[in-house]
Amino acid sequence: MENTLEQIQLNDAGLGPSPKILLLEDDESFQAIIKDFLESHSYEVVAVRNGVEGVREIMASDFEVIICDMLMPNLPGDMFYLAVERMRPHLCDRFIFITGLRDNQKVNAFVQKVHGTMLAKPFQVDDLLEMIGFVQIKSAV
């Protein structure tokens, strides 16, 4: 655990490798804003537009954090999570779910069922950074 927390501190100081984030978001302009913001904070970001593309990335690489929109074409966020759970279960505690449907019972029930972390759109980018830090520490333990 100490080495991982040490690595997070090195990353924050710009001394270690950049933490790799998978961003699943179908809204191109929102995706570009989040990707640029995270890259400006020294994260390496792989951005895809749906869960099918996300599955390809998950099979090819590991990620420290997965930011996943709940409503996407082809394979929505909940189905993407279930696919990851089957293929790469160690990544499941690295999800941050994002949604514009704050009061959607199905979305809320799913996130609660998987003990997930959720940010409701619109959100402050500082809240996203805080969530990323939380997920990094949680998955390091």
Region 2-140: CATH code: 3.40.50.2300
d(CA 64, CA 85): 15
Tokens 């954090």: give the residue.
65
Name the residue ranges covered by the structural domains of the chain. Answer: 2-140
pLDDT reported for residue 141: 64
Q: Which residues of the chain have pLDDT under 50?
A: 1-10, 14
Note the pLDDT tens digit of each residue in 28-61: 999 999 999 999 999 999 999 999 999 999 999 9
- Classify residue 2 as exposed, middle or buried by CB count within 10 Å of its CB (0-12, 13-18, 19+): exposed
